[in-house]
């Protein structure tokens, strides 16, 4: 018996979150106030308090090493949730549009993600908040900030390359933050490694039990289909849509037909699953949430194969928003408490026609209502939320109400900074965002001295967004700030945005420093007066912290020997 899923004519319920953007043909239309619809007809209005609505939310990030297919998977998930009608590709060919999450010109030109993006859509009467993240290691800070705002992560692994450097680092962050991880082994339609070998690598590298939920029929590059481990007597076979722009046609084959048509591959898949069951590789919800195991899925994001099963798993397995820890041992903020939110990202000029600035706020507790006045914990001052948006990539629309797990974009929020806590009624302060040790330093100057005002405004904006760290030295003054970055591609972003968004082209002059240490004013003065020729102290504009910059670790040791009482504090390293 063969049953077919996909294509048109399906009738199913889905919940459209507050003003979530839903593509319909070439235009985008919006629905308001959590309407439950069936084939576009209103079937009722969903309402409830913060606890009930939080239970319907799943807020997760997609993370991976560069080129593992992260943005492609993001687009495929949105496609299967029917939030868009046609998926793009990261490296789009002529005539193809770029992915919804890669909205920046530089991202579309290079085929990489350099900034995080938010997509909100609905699936199976649940509201999904998907945070796409940069994969490149040079943008680690942006990814780490996003992981502070999610409850789960989907880790993408290239079937041919296995676990790569950035994959390992990101998993360590997830472990540190207690974020459970679902693993998707991508590109199974291309030549790659053995499936059991990949599971062994995950277990040995991460000390994490991989528990397959889907299993491939056929080796990498010769994929015949998938087996849902929960229904092992059936095989899912796929027919890819032209160009991978639509959902792949999915057929369900019984065991007899699968054995008849794919005898050797079907038998091998069955033997491997039997072996995995004997070793205890069976999904355990408690072990997953405790960070002791990871459910594993196989597929091909570009072909939209196995994506539906992953999307269902996010709904069924990922945790709903829960209590969030407060700073300085202050306990936890339960979801039913009055409103609180965490600013995890600030982005300017998403709308080029308005030159605005948007602060992304993860709702942590209570109910957010547009127009409410909240308190910024850093200053104790009130903040009005008149302009609040729901975000879908670069597109957005006004949002009236949001619940724990949702991401709200506050427009023209010039006072807000990354890491800020907002709250109503009862005070809350969430732990600060990490700032990483920079390893690349350049003096930045305007090409056209007549654009100095635009230059200063642009550099200040990029600093507030966390694109780079901006330092000021006594030697150069504020007219020639120093940019400090984790990776050199951050400087490319600065050049591009300064020229295209702030109309103030810049030139960069590299400095011979490779490492930094935090110090105090006394240590800064000693460093600048010491006999070290290639050492210098600067203060960070964002928070006033003094940094000592050194060409090498040898110079650090030399300074510490000369001034043993001067403090040098090691910063968080993004590349360790």
pLDDT value at residue 498 = 92
pLDDT value at residue 317 = 97
More confident residue, 467 or 420: 420
Instruction: For residue 210, give Cα distances in angstroms to 197, 271, 276, 282.
Output: 11, 17, 10, 8
Q: What residue numbers does the annotated binding site cover?
A: 132-136
Mean pLDDT of 386-393: 77
Q: Which of 324, 319, 287, 300 has its CA nearest to residue 238?
A: 300
Mean pLDDT of 445-466: 92
For 423-439, what is each residue's pLDDT tens digit? 999 999 999 887 778 88
- Domains observed in the chain: 2-6+14-317 (3.40.50.300), 324-423 (3.40.50.300), 440-570 (3.30.70.3280)
Task: Give the number of C-alpha atoms closer than 13 A to the C-alpha of residue 370, restricted to the C-beta side.
Answer: 18
Strand partners, 345: 360
Mean pLDDT of 196-211: 95
Q: What residue numbers does the annotated binding site for GTP cover?
A: 132-136
Judged against a pLDDT cut of 70, whether residue 262 lies above it is answered with yes
For 126-159, what is each residue's pLDDT tens digit? 999 998 776 545 556 777 788 889 999 999 999 9
Judged against a pLDDT cut of 70, whether residue 10 lies above it is answered with no
For 346-388, what is each residue's pLDDT tens digit? 887 665 555 678 899 999 999 999 999 999 999 999 999 988 8
Query: What is the helix, strand, coil percentage profile of the chain, to 5?
Result: 25, 30, 40
pLDDT value at residue 101 = 43
More confident residue, 80 or 445: 445
Strand partners, 407: 362
Judged against a pLDDT cut of 60, whether residue 181 lies above it is answered with yes
For 13-67, what is each residue's pLDDT tens digit? 233 333 333 222 223 333 333 433 333 322 223 345 899 999 999 999 998 887 8
Mean pLDDT of 544-573: 88
Residue 393 confidence class, pLDDT cut points 50, 70, 90: low
Task: Decide: 116 and 146 in contact? Cβ < 8 Å.
Answer: yes
Residue 241 confidence class, pLDDT cut points 50, 70, 90: confident
Mean pLDDT of 453-481: 90
Phi and psi (nearest 5°) for 417? Answer: -125, 160
Residue 478 confidence class, pLDDT cut points 50, 70, 90: confident
Mean pLDDT of 479-491: 90
pLDDT value at residue 143 = 76
Mean pLDDT of 429-458: 91
Q: Which of 195, 274, 289, 180 has its CA nearest to residue 229?
A: 274
Q: Which long-range contacts (CB under 8 A, 24 or more apart) does 38-45 make?
A: 38/11, 38/12, 38/13, 38/14, 39/11, 43/13
For 68-127, what is each residue's pLDDT tens digit? 888 889 888 888 877 665 544 333 333 334 444 443 454 444 444 445 578 888 999 999
Task: Decide: 440 and 484 in contact? Cβ < 8 Å.
Answer: yes
Residue 477 confidence class, pLDDT cut points 50, 70, 90: confident
Phi and psi (nearest 5°) for 554? Answer: -60, -40
Share of residues in the chain with pLDDT > 70 (%) = 80
Judged against a pLDDT cut of 50, whether residue 334 lies above it is answered with yes
pLDDT value at residue 147 = 87
pLDDT value at residue 260 = 96
């Amino acid at each position: 018996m063969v049953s077919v899923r996909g294509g048109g004519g399906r009738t199913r319920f889905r919940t459209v979150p507050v003003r979530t953007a839903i593509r319909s043909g070439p235009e985008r239309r919006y629905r308001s106030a959590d309407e439950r619809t069936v084939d576009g007809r209103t079937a009722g209005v969903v309402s409830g308090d913060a606890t009930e609505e939080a239970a319907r939310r799943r807020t997760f990030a997609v993370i991976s090493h560069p080129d593992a297919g992260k943005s492609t998977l993001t687009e495929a998930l949105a496609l299967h949730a029917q939030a868009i009608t046609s998926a793009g590709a990261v490296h789009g060919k002529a005539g193809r549009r770029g992915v919804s999450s890669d909205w920046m010109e530089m991202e579309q030109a290079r085929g990489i993600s350099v900034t995080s993006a938010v997509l909100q859509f609905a699936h199976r009467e649940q509201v999904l908040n998907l945070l796409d993240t940069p994969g490149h290691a040079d943008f680690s800070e942006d990814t780490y900030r996003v992981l502070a705002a999610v409850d789960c992560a989907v880790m993408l692994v290239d079937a041919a390359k296995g676990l790569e450097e950035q994959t390992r680092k990101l998993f360590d962050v997830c472990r540190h933050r207690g974020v459970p991880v679902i693993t998707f082994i991508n590109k199974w339609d291309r030549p790659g490694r053995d499936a059991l070998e990949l599971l062994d690598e995950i277990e040995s590298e991460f000390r994490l039990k991989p528990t397959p939920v889907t299993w491939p029929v056929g080796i990498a590059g010769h994929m015949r289909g998938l087996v849902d481990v929960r229904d092992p007597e059936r095989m899912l076979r796929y027919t890819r849509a032209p160009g991978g722009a639509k959902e792949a046609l999915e057929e369900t084959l019984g065991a007899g037909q699968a054995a008849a048509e794919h005898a050797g591959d079907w038998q091998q898949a069955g033997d491997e699953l039997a072996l995995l069951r004997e070793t205890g590789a069976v999904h355990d919800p408690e072990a997953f949430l405790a960070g002791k195991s990871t459910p594993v899925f196989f597929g091909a994001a570009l072909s939209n194969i196995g994506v539906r099963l992953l999307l269902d798993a996010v709904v069924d397995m990922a945790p709903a928003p829960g209590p969030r820890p407060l700073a300085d041992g202050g306990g936890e903020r339960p979801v039913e408490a009055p409103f609180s939110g965490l600013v995890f990202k600030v982005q300017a000029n998403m709308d080029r026609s308005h030159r605005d600035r948007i602060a992304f706020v993860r709702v942590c507790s209570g109910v957010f209502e547009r127009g409410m006045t909240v308190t910024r914990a850093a200053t104790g001052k009130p903040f009005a939320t008149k302009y609040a948006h729901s975000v879908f990539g670069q597109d957005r629309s006004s949002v009236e109400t949001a619940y724990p797990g949702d991401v709200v974009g506050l427009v023209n929020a010039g006072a807000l900074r990354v890491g800020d806590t907002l709250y109503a009624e009862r005070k809350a302060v969430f732990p600060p965002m990490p700032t990483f040790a920079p390893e690349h330093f350049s003096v930045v100057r305007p090409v056209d001295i007549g654009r100095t005002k635009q230059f200063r405004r642009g550099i200040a904006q990029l600093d507030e967004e966390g694109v780079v760290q901006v330092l000021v030295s006594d030697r150069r003054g504020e007219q020639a700030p120093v940019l400090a970055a984790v990776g050199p591609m951050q400087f490319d972003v600065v050049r591009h945005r300064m020229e295209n968004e702030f109309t103030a082209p810049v030139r960069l002059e590299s400095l011979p420093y490779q490492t930094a240490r935090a110090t105090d004013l006394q240590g800064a003065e000693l460093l600048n007066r010491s006999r070290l020729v290639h050492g210098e102290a600067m203060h960070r504009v964002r928070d006033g912290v003094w940094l000592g910059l050194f060409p090498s670790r040898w110079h650090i040791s030399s300074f510490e020997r000369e001034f043993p009482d001067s403090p040098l504090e090691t910063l968080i390293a993004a590349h360790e």
